[in-house]
Chains A and B, each alone.
Chain A
């Protein structure tokens, strides 16, 4: 199957007062048609920067190398007009914070309609009718009335549903959801995850799900890429990754995640000692080595590359036996 989105050797560096910061280091990802790829990692691992570079949303201080192809069209270095026609139409983006992403002075109907008028050339009336349809699609009750609401009249969950409606207005090939439920309560989160699942099933939208929450990954993803300090350290089908994590970081992360019914007896969570390294120059070594319980001499002198195949891992001494978590 040909991937819809193909990211190859993507590197992003930022010029700052403290010198060059390497946020993303030769990341390669593929997303198939109708597939949900979760990119998971902790703060500063580069997951959001990766997502933003796919959508061409990074500021000028960012230096992006490598290739991002959407259905064969190269996006890195593409001119403004190409990007404008793709952004919002072929690649759509949902941000974490729905309140700051919506314009407070326009009704939600106006804001969804704007997307349709700009990209599809719908008339004002047709755009309104389509906006109502979209609000229904994302599960907003009494959509006919809600379409005239301003963002402040909606709850956080509703606002995120509106953001999703805007994002899928033009039936994008790829939807990038950057921590779409992090700012929401769990009872609201469950509804939003349901909406995303429905979009994939009904519209066949490919989704790149950026998250730090392994529960969300387990709920929605088909495949998972685990990022650490700017690099992809492991990627596999979701069931395989949770059952047989091979990178010690993935295994550590799974053990550290609290989950109801799992830690009551042990009264302890697994810890990952140490700190995430600073994003200066990427060393020629495994960036996880100094926190890794399985590190060998080799790890500090040579950078492991991702293996090939269905389950890929970048580690000199991967976990082979199934881990109890």
Chain B
């Protein structure tokens, strides 16, 4: 039987009337990297916060290495805390300014009452490319990239099976972002943890992810192996996302024609009927407005899509080549 570090089934998270996450099913194999991609308001960070149980889901189940943690209370969660760690987007806001770097990185081990903490902290810092002396410094003395390395060291010191990385490089400059992405890729390969990489930037995950899941307005619209999502994206939204990100090559970029979706992102309080993407979809038909599309497998590696217009063998419209299509 295949081993999963994470199994999320039909996850629902509502905040009062806001349906932030509405039925997400997602699995991360042991030692593999899944990128969860979506734009602001898609609910991708909420999924991450449910997984590390900073939030208690409204519905569905979350299994970490075969243990159901969906509704465990703080005390019951404690033995599972070492199985999963999270790295946040803003390293300045997620490191306690009153603690030294060494205390921050060692804290998970202290909570687990481990021994030899200073030695393990030095090792963890060295692993993320920081000198052990950094342990005596304060977070504010470090640069943004160094702080994010500290966050990563803290997240990995308990040797979790799963790392949830929530936009870990979005606040960083391009040159620093490259170093942090490379570091995460190296660590993942060397230590073999599974990773859910949450991001709005498809291009940043292409060389990191084994699988990609695309989220729109609280639901997954497409998921599958990296090569399939980048090579033969089936959902119009995935296609639009891929076409919208400008590439740093003037000749190539000017030959492309981004799919324009219109500016109005519907509200998660009152999501559109039928397919939630229909209000911005350039190729939507009547059925899309009334019938909710089920997610189904359309290709190898468990490539799934939730769109009426894609046939079972994965053929369907490509909005990148549809002329004059407007929502």
Contact = CB atoms under 8 A, between A and B. Distances in A.
B4 interface: no
A272 interface: yes
Given A42-B173, A212-B173, A268 B185 contact: yes
B239 to A, nearest CB: 11
A40 B206 CA distance: 24
Q: Which residue among A156, A158, A254, A261 has the maximum number of chain B CB atoms within 10 Å of its CB?
A: A261
Contacts of B292: none
A105 interface: no
Contacts of B262: 141, 191
Nearest to B169: A258
Interface in A168-186: 185-186
A218 B230 contact: no
A242 B178 contact: no
Given A264-B230, A275-B143, A216 B173 contact: no
Given A215-B247, A218-B253, A258 B203 contact: yes
Q: Which residue among B243, B249, B252 has the maximum number of chain A CB atoms within 10 Å of its CB?
A: B249
A267 B260 contact: no
Contacts of A263: 206-207
B175 A256 contact: yes
A151 interface: no
Contact of B263 (A191, A216, A254): A191
A102 interface: no
Contact of B249 (A190, A242, A264): A242
Nearest to A222: B250
Contacts of B241: 186-187
A242 B261 CA distance: 29
B311 interface: no
A255 B249 CA distance: 11
Interface in A108-162: 141, 155-158, 161
B207 A268 contact: yes
Contact of B182 (A187, A191, A216, A271): A271
Contacts of B203: 258-260
A305 interface: no
A42 B261 contact: no
Contact of B247 (A188, A259, A270): A259
Given A214-B248, A258-B203, A260-B230, A272 B178 contact: yes
A275 B172 CA distance: 12
B230 A261 contact: yes
A224 to B, nearest CB: 9
Nearest to A242: B250
A215 B178 CA distance: 15
A303 to B, nearest CB: 22
Contacts of A43: 173
B246 A267 contact: no
A20 interface: no
B40 A267 contact: no
A207 to B, nearest CB: 16
B318 interface: no
A187 B202 CA distance: 12
Contacts of A193: 246
B291 interface: no
Contacts of B179: 271-273
A189 B260 CA distance: 9
B190 to A, nearest CB: 13
B284 interface: no
A269 B240 CA distance: 24
B123 interface: no
Contacts of B254: 218-219
A284 interface: no
A86 interface: no
A188 B241 CA distance: 10
B272 interface: no
A260 B246 CA distance: 9
Contact of A258 (B201, B260, B263, B264): B201
Interface string B177-221: 111011001000000000000001111101100000000000000
Given A186-B39, A186-B241, A270-B178, A260 B247 contact: yes
A219 B264 contact: no
A258 B248 CA distance: 9
B258 A190 contact: yes
Interface string B257-284: 0111111110000000000000010000
A238 interface: yes
B177 A256 contact: yes
Contacts of A216: 246
Interface of A: 42-43, 141, 155-158, 161, 185-191, 193-194, 212-219, 221, 238-239, 242, 252-264, 266-273, 275-276
11 contacts: A141-B262, A155-B264, A214-B248, A215-B246, A218-B246, A218-B250, A219-B253, A256-B177, A257-B248, A268-B185, A272-B175
| Leading 5 A-B pairs by shortest Cβ distance | A215-B246, A157-B263, A214-B248, A190-B258, A256-B178
Given A214-B248, A261-B206, 11 more contacts: A186-B241, A194-B258, A215-B247, A216-B246, A217-B250, A258-B207, A259-B247, A268-B207, A271-B178, A273-B179, A276-B173
